[in-house]
Amino acid sequence: MHSRACTVADEYSEVTDHMRICYYNRLLNVPWGCGVHGRALVEAWIAAGHDVLCLPDPLFREDAGPGPAVGRLAWMPSTVHGPVQDARARLVSALSGHEQTMQIQRLEPDLLITRRAHYDYCLDSVLRRPGTPYVAEVNAVLADELAEFSGRQMLPWERRREQGYLLKASGAVCVSEAVQASLRALGLPSERLGVLSNGVDTDLFSPGATPDAATTHWASGFRRVYGYTGTLPPTHDTAGLLRAAQLVAEEQQDSGFLFVGPKLADLQGQSTWTTALQSRVRCTGQVRHKDVPSHLVSAHVLWTAFRSDYLSPLKLYEYLALGKPVVLSGNGEAERVVEESGCGTSVQREDAAALASAAISIGGLTSGELTRLGAAGRRWVEKRHTWSVVAAGFLELAMDMSAKVAS
């Protein structure tokens, strides 16, 4: 079971026969992690010849979909976010729930896959129809998603609703073993749980990606550039990463630090920010997912710091696909990815000093040694974690769970 989360995709290399799939995922078109994951699954299923109906919204091909509702409520006091979201969700459900159900009935899907989001009464109305079997996708990319499932920070009736959704499912495909363990603790039997990690577009995230001119020019001023991409807290330990960057900068005077996604003001708001880093840092601000490789290819080493074990490290798979050495602060699946791929080194979570020491060690290698580490990671991820392999594995797990419940 130790390597199950990393190797399960290897078992499902054959494409499942033609299927009609309904994929209900309200987060499908958000421009970050869970949206990337959902769109990649859908596109891989379509490429394999399956019919896919995306609900409650169709699949957008660009990263320009709507953001989460809470982002649109940022101007309101945080205390009213929940009630406003709840009221809006009830209205949307009343207006569209019946139509969503009718679309599913017209498709007559072989498999209904559902990804839960906040206050999703529309999904509740869809599943209220008797005899609607579904397989839950539990990704836990959102920091508060697992809190919903485990019952933390929820009113009792909300907790019952969310846990009831899981317990009534034919099964749940979890993105990591930590998530699987949490769902098992809720009462889901092992035979209705499976683990399948994230994947990566190895054509997009490639050592041959066209470099961004401005980032390349900036990087040319440093002997070693440490690159990062992602969001700020709570998922990532940005304060720890900045502290590690400060320690690296003190030891390696010719090092630079690339942040793809955050703005400089975001970093300056962290408790560990120091003005000594300002001349060493380049922040791109938010970029489209497809443009991330053009910046990261200018880095010599890629690094990150996680704050939990619940997620599947989509970022790490993208790092590996770029053919770059990786330095990680984290545990769980992320640690296993680094160890099994031979792409670099890892240290315990939230240990900035150890992260800096590991980065200095990797950054001090020769160009040839860095290339060999990066190539090892690229080979590993190409074999195990392309989206076509992950998407096929997802269907195999889901169909197996559905068949067991039906029998």
161 lies in the same domain as 273: no
Q: Are residues 379 and 390 located together in one domain of the fold?
A: no
Are 95 and 231 found together in one domain? Answer: no
Domain count across the chain: 2
Domain span holding position 167: 4-199+386-402
* SS3 annotation, 35-77: HHHHHHHHHHHHHCCCEEEEECCCCCCCCCCCCCHHHHCCCCC
Q: How far apart are CA 90 and CA 94, in angstroms?
A: 6
pLDDT digits (tens, 9 = 90+) for 124-135: 888 887 678 999
Q: Which long-range contacts (CB under 8 A, 24 or more apart) does 193-196 make?
A: 194/8, 194/397, 194/400, 194/401, 195/4, 195/5, 195/8, 196/5, 196/8, 196/9, 196/390, 196/393, 196/394, 196/397
Structure confidence by residue, pLDDT tens digits, 156-196: 777 788 888 889 999 999 988 888 888 898 889 999 999 99
For residues 269 and 279, state if they share a domain: yes
Check whether residue 221 and residue 269 sit in a common domain: yes
Answer yes or no: do 127 and 256 share one domain.
no
Domain annotation covers residue 135: yes
DSSP element (H, E) containing 164: helix 156-167
Question: 205 in a domain, yes or no?
Answer: no
Q: 153 and 236: one domain?
A: no
Assigned domain for 161 exists: yes
pLDDT at 33: 82
> Where residue 101 sits, what CATH number does that domain have?
3.40.50.2000
Flag whether 312 is in a domain: yes
User: Which residues 6+ apart lie within 8 Å of 181 measured at CB?
Assistant: none
Is 186 a domain residue? yes
Contacts of 8 (CB under 8 A, 6+ apart): 194, 195, 196, 197, 393, 397
Summarised one tens digit per residue, pLDDT across range 281-297 is 999 999 999 999 999 99
Q: Evaluate if residue 304 carries a pLDDT over 50.
A: yes
Number of H helices, E strands in the chain: 17, 12
What whole-number percentage of the chain has pLDDT above 90?
58
State whether 225 and 277 are in the same domain. yes
pTM of the model: 0.86
* pLDDT greater than 60 at residue 397: yes
Tell me the residue length of the chain: 407
Does residue 208 sit within a domain? no
Angstrom distances, CA of residue 236 to CA of 27, 278, 343: 20, 21, 20
Tell whether 227 and 182 lie within a shared domain.
no
User: How many beta carbons lie within 10 A of that of residue 47, not counting itself?
Assistant: 12
Tell me the average pLDDT across 100-110: 91
pLDDT at 183: 86
**pLDDT averaged over the chain?**
86
Closest-CA residue to 121 (of 147, 87, 149)? 87
Examine the domain organization and report whether 120 and 168 are in the same domain. Answer: yes
Q: For 56-99, write each residue's pLDDT tens digit.
A: 888 875 544 444 444 444 544 555 556 776 777 778 777 788 88
Higher pLDDT, 93 or 51: 51
Contact partners, residue 132, CB within 8 Å, separation at least 6? 104, 112, 126
End-to-end C-alpha distance for the chain, whole angstroms: 26
Question: Cα–Cα distances in Å, from 96 out to 81, 112, 162, 205, 227?
Answer: 22, 18, 20, 38, 44
378 within a domain of the structure (yes/no): yes
Out of 3-7, 26-30, 203-207, give the one with best mean pLDDT.
Answer: 203-207
352 and 371 housed in the same domain: yes
CA separation for the pair 363, 225 (Å, rounded): 8
- 3-class DSSP assignment, residue 140: coil
If asked whether residues 356 and 391 sit together in one domain, one would say no
